[in-house]
Structure 1
Amino acid sequence: MMRNRQRGSNLGLLLLACQVFQLGIDNIPPVTLAALGLNVYLFLFPAKPLLQTCLSVQEAYWHRDWSRLLLSPFHHVDDMHLYFNMASLLWKGIQLERKLGGAWFAYLLSVFSLLTGLVYLLLETGLTHMTEDSSYSLQCAVGFSGVLFGLKVVNNHYHPGGATYIMGLLIANRYACWVELVLIHIMNPGTSFVGHLAGILVGLLYTNGPLKTLMKTFAGFMASDGHYGRQQTYFNSSGYSGYGMPYPPNPHYEQQSFIHRQYGAHYREPYDTAMPSAPSQHPYTAGLSEEEQYAAAVRASLNDRGIPIHGTYTQSNPTPEEIRWRRLHRFRQLNN
């Protein structure tokens, strides 16, 4: 069901601004921030009137207005509709973009935005034929919530376990999306039940179906065709210092999510290493870890003495004190 946009209320925008500034813009990953900005911009300056952006079988399939597949997820009925969706995007985006990296998360958002609309059209068409009720084909949906349901499934997949309170009931996270699907529709019948269900199904296609494999295959084909390699950019955060470190994070580094920082809890955050990443290049260590630097120093010291180097070293390696003495001895020889 569509409602006319309420132009006079700005409460949702104010609440969203407070949410963003409370988090700190530097603590919001770039792709999540860009998606948030796009939704807000299109709310303030819509590409088309709302009734020309909502998605339905009648408009998209019968009238061949396929542009609605692209427009409908990023337009909202009113400012509170925008606020609740964007607050949910912030929470899910911060977790998933840290987990997947900015490039893959942007890819995921693009695919989910398009595919959720396609699944919605298929479901509404199926309901029309099963019930012989054409009203299903006339229902017009708009908003980002279908995509968010898909992201919720993916987030629960990458962060298994745990539970959350819904209406006072403790629900395991893996079942939370199904409970929310029903409760939201009961409490607010104007929401699109089929649109939310479409998002859940897309999320399941990614976590338990062929979608993730197809996305990786397509990404690999585009990379090889474009001759730019398959390098993936990772984004991580150290406390409140923000994002933008262009090298893969150390898997043993202690990461903190927004919600964990609020409660003072630390956790180790795994990273998806399915796509190859560029080697770490530290400006002061030439990309070498402490162990590699130590091994390099041993090799240099042995080379100075004319000892051939073969294979790796065991406990018979010189001690750090011996290495430092050899470096000092070499320096004195050069000065003499």
Structure 2
Amino acid sequence: MRNRQRGTNLGLLLLASQVFQLGIDNIPPVTLATLGLNVYLFLFPFKPLLETCLSVREAYWYRDWSRLLLSPFHHVDDMHLYFNMALLLWKGIRLEKKLGGPWFAYLLSVFSLLTGFVYLLLETGLTHMTEDSSYSLQCAVGFSGVLFGLKVVNNHYHPGGATNIMGLPIANRYACWVELVLIHIMNPGTSFVGHLSGILVGLLYTTGPLKRLMEICAGFVTSNGHYGGQQTYYNSSGYSGYGMPYAPNTNYEQHYYGAPYRQQYNTNSAHTPTAPPQHPYTAGMSEEQQYEAALRASLNDRGGHTQARSSHGPFVPSNPSPEEIRWRRIQRFDS
């Protein structure tokens, strides 16, 4: 592994140019944050490069497990950073739009850790198979292993098509394997095992148990540690779930009277006949609509039958006419 080279930082300039060409507003937030983290740690590394790279000797023999966290987000030089981040932009934009921000962030976190873990297993296996301890000393660093995993996932969600590699059209489903070999041949300094680890992690997700395991873990987290009826999970289209009372693309707060509120009206608060309470968030309603919503909530509090509420659904208003509203107001004040 080469020591970090300091020079003109041409890679940073190329990366900045590409970001501005795409437009920051066109880059999804998780992808942009991941890119920013990699650039920040390149400019202000958490530790020297030799203390962040991942090897069997450093991580397993010497128990420096922090390298599993640090190695994907540190790079050898600015061009190494540029090529990895350029690929992240292309894959991240497509996958984050497909999977949704929360699941994509979850995927990146798992892939970052698991790629390093698989790398250690493969290097340990090679050490025992060949009886060559040099495999345990090889130190890898960079985000490219994770990117190979993302390439497998991207090809899974966007099947078909071909990639032009050295003038030859290669089907996307095989492109990652061809690139794995060609990159190692053209640049022997790259980590063949590190890239292979990313591909294997991607396959574990698309064809193995990893995706289901991640869904189960997500269910535990979203149910506050109680895995049961309110389980939520993610599927290939993004956020989904069992027992979700709200649609995936709406606020988690209930929709009252046809307008979304961020805070449920407190029907236990005291009311005075001369000043009917109004909701603190008007949601663009007119004064008459605000009064109508407040009056309905007040009637519900007093046992009125103007609305029907199911055990799992929103309130269903009866849509009274303005004359009926005035009549109910007189009835309420006379009571």
Q: CA deviation at 1:224?
A: 1.3
Query: Deviations 1:93-127 (Å, cap 9, x if unpaired)?
Result: 00010011100000000000000000000000000
Q: CA contact under 8 A between 2:56 and 2:136: conserved in structure 1?
A: yes
Partner residue in 1 for 2:88: 89
Q: CA contact under 8 A between 1:103 and 1:232: conserved in structure 2?
A: no
What residue ranges of structure 2 are gaps of 5+ in the alignment? 261-318, 327-335
Aligned residue pairs: how many? 261
Q: CA deviation at 1:4?
A: 1.3
The SS at the match of 2:224 is: helix
Alpha-carbon distance between aligned partners in 1 of 2:221 and 2:90, rounded to the nearest angstrom = 30
- Does residue 271 of the first structure (1) align with residue 271 of the second (2)? no
Alpha-carbon distance between aligned partners in 1 of 2:198 and 2:95, rounded to the nearest angstrom = 16
Q: CA contact under 8 A between 1:58 and 1:137: conserved in structure 2?
A: yes
Alpha-carbon distance between aligned partners in 2 of 1:128 and 1:204, rounded to the nearest angstrom = 24
Partner residue in 2 for 1:175: 174
Alpha-carbon distance between aligned partners in 1 of 2:57 and 2:325, rounded to the nearest angstrom = 84
Whose radius of gyration is greater, 1 or 2?
2
Q: CA RMSD in A?
A: 2.8
Alpha-carbon distance between aligned partners in 2 of 1:142 and 1:100, rounded to the nearest angstrom = 27
Alpha-carbon distance between aligned partners in 2 of 1:230 and 1:10, rounded to the nearest angstrom = 48
Aligned partner of 1:144: which letter?
A: F
Q: CA contact under 8 A between 2:145 and 2:195: conserved in structure 1?
A: yes
Aligned partner of 2:6: which letter?
A: R
Alpha-carbon distance between aligned partners in 1 of 2:237 and 2:106, rounded to the nearest angstrom = 16
Percent identical? 80
Partner residue in 1 for 2:224: 225
- 1:333 and 1:123, CA in 2 relative to 1: closer, same or farther beyond 3 A? closer
Aligned partner of 1:41: which letter?
A: Y
- 1:224 and 1:9, CA in 2 relative to 1: closer, same or farther beyond 3 A? same
- Does residue 37 of the first structure (1) align with residue 48 of the second (2)? no
Q: CA contact under 8 A between 1:77 and 1:143: conserved in structure 2?
A: yes
- Does residue 135 of the first structure (1) align with residue 101 of the second (2)? no
Q: CA contact under 8 A between 2:219 and 2:233: conserved in structure 1?
A: no
- 1:214 and 1:231, CA in 2 relative to 1: closer, same or farther beyond 3 A? closer
- Structure 1 outlier segments of 4+, above 3 Å: 226-233, 272-278, 280-287, 330-335
- The TM-score, its normalising length taken from structure 2, stands at 0.72
- The TM-score, its normalising length taken from structure 1, stands at 0.72
Aligned partner of 1:204: which letter?
A: L
Aligned partner of 2:61: which letter?
A: W
- 1:22 and 1:3, CA in 2 relative to 1: closer, same or farther beyond 3 A? same
Partner residue in 1 for 2:13: 14
Aligned partner of 1:120: which letter?
A: Y
The SS at the match of 1:225 is: coil
What residue ranges of structure 1 are gaps of 5+ in the alignment? 234-269, 288-326
Alpha-carbon distance between aligned partners in 2 of 1:21 and 1:147, rounded to the nearest angstrom = 24
Partner residue in 1 for 2:76: 77
Partner residue in 2 for 1:186: 185
The SS at the match of 1:160 is: coil
Q: CA deviation at 1:164?
A: 1.0
Alpha-carbon distance between aligned partners in 2 of 1:75 and 1:153, rounded to the nearest angstrom = 22
Aligned partner of 2:177: which letter?
A: W
Partner residue in 2 for 1:115: 114
Partner residue in 1 for 2:267: none
Q: CA deviation at 1:134?
A: 0.5
Alpha-carbon distance between aligned partners in 1 of 2:106 and 2:205, rounded to the nearest angstrom = 13
